[in-house]
Amino acid sequence: MELSDTFGGQVKLPYSTGLIWSHCLLNKEIKDNFRLSGWFYKREEDSKIIKQIKNPDIVAFSNFVWNTKINHRVAKTIKELYPNCLIIFGGLGNPNKKNVKAYLKQHDYIDLIVNGEGEITFEHILSSYLHGRNYEEISGLSSKNFITKDRDRIKDIDTMPSPYLDGLFDKLVMESEDTFEGVIESTRGCPYQCTFCEIGDLYFQKMSMQSNEKVFRELDWLSKNKIDFFYNADSNFGLLKNHGEIVDYMSQLKMDTGYPANMMVDWAKSKADKVVDLAQKLTDANLLKGITIALQSMNVDALKAIKRKNVDNNKLQDFINLYKDKNLKSYIELILGLPKESTQSFKDGIYKILDMGFTDYVNINAMTALPNTPFFDESYIKEYGIKIVETTPAFFHHENAEDLIDEKEMMVVGSETMSVDDYIEASLFKWYISFCEYLGTTNIVANLLNKIYDIKKSDFYDRYYNYIKTNDSFLNDEYKITKKSLQKILKKEQCWGRKVEDKTYNIHWEFQEATAINLLENKKSFYDNLKEFISNNYKVDTNVLNNIIEFQIYKVSSPDITYPFTKKFDYNLEQVLSGKQLRNGGHEYMFSHKNFDNVTTWAKEILWWGRKNKSYEVTIVDL
């Protein structure tokens, strides 16, 4: 049982349990004596799942933070109905060995917990089930009565079977009406020890690789079965030489077949200059949304607390310039809520990035305390004064988020340097800067003011933020709504995100996306208010400002505009964005973009799927 949620009509193939069952089927005794009578991969009502399970001998759960509550409910019910059924939990949602005894005492319906990699351990459990059931002899196991020694990592994952290549997923895809997304594991393990990440544990430090041939055949399967999207579960893609051959293969596959249509990958940390050629090929194949620059924080003390070392600012500036010269989209990853981070240092970090001239997307994630990280260690919590609360899973774009109200995610909402109120303030700033700059709403204005009047973007956004918090306006109303929602979320009185029911029905959007949707009916008042703010704070020529505001409006995609269209401006504003001097002489621009029939489709493609590669940008031709 590997339950995932459905997002945008897609659900994940059960890759983790697929790997385990594929391996077990190599054992003839297991193949002859066990039958997989049910494989559950999609969240449904508990009763619907339980109804399909009849007199089971063994039920195994792949347990993660996003499905732990439903797993426990279903497991408890199964144990009540079938007391002799062996209940097994695996996955990173389970506690480590230090905390597992108390966990099993609390959840006494669980018989065994698999620690670490599960393929071989689960095989040994099934074999033992047939021969005496002496589970205490199996490495990598915990129970109420024993904890065995750690199982050694699999040294060569290339020798392990694949659920893509042995036909295991064929039947699943053929018989299901679901649209699937896939996972490829070109490399397993990570050499880094980031404290916020569960694979930062020493157990996962050594890396094991799949052969290119095996990865190619798995990619062929994804293409043949028309899988639109896949995630490469390599934590440091681009670090190894053979990754270039993988990029060449999947780029050619996309161009030849159209599938997979999109992918997501975590690029090698601090190797931004090494992955440029790989990213260029994937971009040319229209397979990549952007290069990740995983900074997590710009605060040296925060990075030290999480055992993370970033490139220095000079090197980061070089990377930004390099990507810009290559015309490659990139996006920076930050985490809100790290120890030693304050609200001001968090803002200052974003301001530094803005003033470096980085104009692509910055993805700011909330800090989740995962069970097997130092964020669940009492000494680490005490050292940094970490505050943790239980919320629903921090998922967005879910069409039935209310289904998650009983699930939990442990969110870091403060530390000795950031109170809970400060955390809410930092979260509101995240909403604000994401809406204004990273969804394109004011970034053209900010860029042009910087280039024409040498107004720092950090100064513009700092003043404007203080202005919108205290002056009645559309954005002030949105600020208040967002703040109220955040307060309720941290009390677990509502799910993460925000619905815009009159326009996009039951989808839970990120707060900045919901504000962008609501902006569609409030453009005039919003931009009139923005113009008033600029006039009151900076010495800007009125006619130039009027042109900038109008240019900003048309530069960002909107579902209520029909493209292409032409518009005359007094100034060469598109050229100014490219570094030219402002010139008055009249310019006629043609604005082109995809047309949308409805707000929901526009919001999905522009605000959600395309946010990392600035899909909101309208193409402009100077006539």
On whether the CB atoms of residues 290 and 329 are closer than 8 A, the answer is: yes
* 565: amino acid identity, one letter: F
Query: For residues 454 and 376, which has the higher predicted lDDT (pLDDT)?
Result: 454
pLDDT higher than threshold 70 for residue 515: yes
Instruction: Report the pLDDT value the prediction gives residue 313, as an integer from 0 to 100.
Output: 59
517 and 504 in contact (C-beta within 8 Å)?
yes
Residue 391 predicted with pLDDT over 90: yes
CA-angle at 590, arms to 586 and 591, nearest 5°: 125
Give kind and range of the element (H or E) at residue 434: none
Query: Stretch 467-494: mean pLDDT, rounded?
Result: 96
End-to-end CA distance of the chain: 59
Model confidence at 483: pLDDT above 90: yes
**What is the pLDDT, as a whole number, of residue 545?**
98
Rounded-to-integer distance, Cα 516 and Cα 608, Å = 11
More confident residue, 271 or 548: 548
* Backbone phi, psi, residue 271, to 5°: -125, 35
Checking if the pLDDT of 205 tops 80, the result is no
- Cα separation, 488 vs 193, whole angstroms: 34
CB-based burial label for 222 (10 Å; 0-12, 13-18, 19+): buried
Residue 219 one-letter amino acid: L
* Sequence-ordered list of residues with C-beta below 8 angstroms from that of 575, at least 6 positions apart, any chain: 583, 622
DSSP codes of every residue in 86-153: EEEEESTTS--TTTHHHHHHHSTT--EEE-S--HHHHHHHHHHHHTT--GGGSTTEE-SS-BPPPPPP
pLDDT band at residue 421 under the 50/70/90 scheme: very high
Neighbouring residues of 358: CB distance < 8 A, sequence distance ≥ 6: 320, 332
- What is the rounded average pLDDT of the residues 198-220? 85
Cα-to-chain-centroid distance, residue 214: 27
The predicted pLDDT at position 314 comes to 66
What angle do the packed helices 511-519 and 474-490 form, to 10 degrees? 150
Residue 271: predicted pLDDT = 63
In order, the DSSP letters of 572-610 are -HHHHHTTPPP-EEEEEEEEE----SSHHHHIIIIIIIT
Mean pLDDT over 502-506 rounds to 87
Looking at 80-84, 398-402, 552-556, which range is the least confident one? 398-402
Give the C-alpha separation, 356 to 25, whole Å: 54
DSSP H or E stretch at residue 271: none
Q: Does position 272 have pLDDT exceeding 70, yes or no?
A: no
pLDDT over threshold 90, residue 138: yes
Range in 22-31, 152-161, 308-317, 431-440 the model is least confident about: 308-317
- In degrees and rounded to multiples of 5, residue 10 shows phi and psi of -115, 145
pLDDT at 423: 98
pLDDT confidence of residue 385: 97
Q: What is the pLDDT of residue 198?
A: 76
Question: Is the Cα dihedral 273, 276, 277, 282 positive or negative?
Answer: positive
- Mean pLDDT, the chain, integer: 92
Tokens 């240019």, located at residue = 551
Pick the residue with more confidence: 582 or 288?
Answer: 582
Q: In the structure encoding, which two tokens stand for residue 249, read together?
A: 């293969």
> 378: how many CB neighbours lie within 10 A of its CB?
8
CA dihedral 446, 354, 584, 561 (to 10 degrees): -50
**Separation CA 303–CA 307 (nearest Å):** 6
pLDDT at site 200: 60
Task: Decide if 496 contacts 401 (C-beta within 8 A).
Answer: yes
**Contact indicator for 298, 352 with CB cutoff of 8 Å:** yes
Residue 176 to residue 172: CA distance in whole angstroms: 6
Torsion of CA 93, 426, 516, 611, to 10 degrees: -50
Angle (deg, nearest 10), helices 542-555 and 523-537: 140
Q: Name the percent of the chain lying above pLDDT 90.
A: 72
The pLDDT of residue 274: 73
Query: Which of the 8 DSSP states describes residue 553?
Result: H
| pTM, entire model | 0.85
Distance of CA 69 to the CA centre of its chain: 21
Phi/psi of residue 225, nearest 5 degrees: -95, 15
Check pLDDT > 80 for residue 289.
no
330-365 per-residue burial string, b: 16 or more CB within 10 A, e: under 16 = bbbbbbbbbbbbbbebbbebbbebbeeebbbbbbbe
Average pLDDT of the segment spanning 470-481: 97
Quick one: pLDDT band at residue 403, thresholds 50, 70, 90?
A: confident
Summarize pLDDT for 522-569 with one digit per residue, the tens: 999 999 999 999 999 999 999 999 999 999 999 999 999 999 999 999
Closest CA to 511 of 482, 474, 538: 482
Confidence category of residue 269, pLDDT binned at 50, 70, 90: low
Q: What value does the mean pLDDT take over residues 112-127?
A: 95
Whether the per-residue pLDDT at 15 is higher than 80: the answer is yes
With a cut of 90, say whether residue 50 has pLDDT above it.
Answer: yes
Q: What's the rounded Cα separation, in Å, for the pair 500 and 514?
A: 6
Ramachandran class of 454: left when φ > 0, alpha when ψ lies in -120 to 50, beta otherwise: left
Phi and psi for 82 in degrees, rounded to 5?
A: -130, 80
Distance of CA 610 to the CA centre of its chain: 13
Three-class SS of residue 411? strand
Q: Where are the alpha helices (DSSP H) in 474-522?
A: 474-490, 501-504, 511-519
**How far is the C-alpha of 68 from the C-alpha of 4, rounded, in Å?**
11
Q: Report the distance separating Cα 254 and Cα 389, nearest Å.
A: 43
**pLDDT at residue 216 in the model:** 97
pLDDT category at 613 given cuts 50, 70, 90 is confident
Task: Give residue-wise pLDDT tens across range 311-369.
Answer: 665 678 888 888 888 888 888 999 999 999 999 999 999 999 999 999 899 999 999 99
Q: Is the pLDDT of residue 204 over 90?
A: no
Burial class (CB in 10 A: 0-12, 13-18, 19+), 377: middle
> To which H or E segment does residue 361 belong?
strand 361-366
Whole-number Å distance between alpha carbons of 460 and 440 = 15
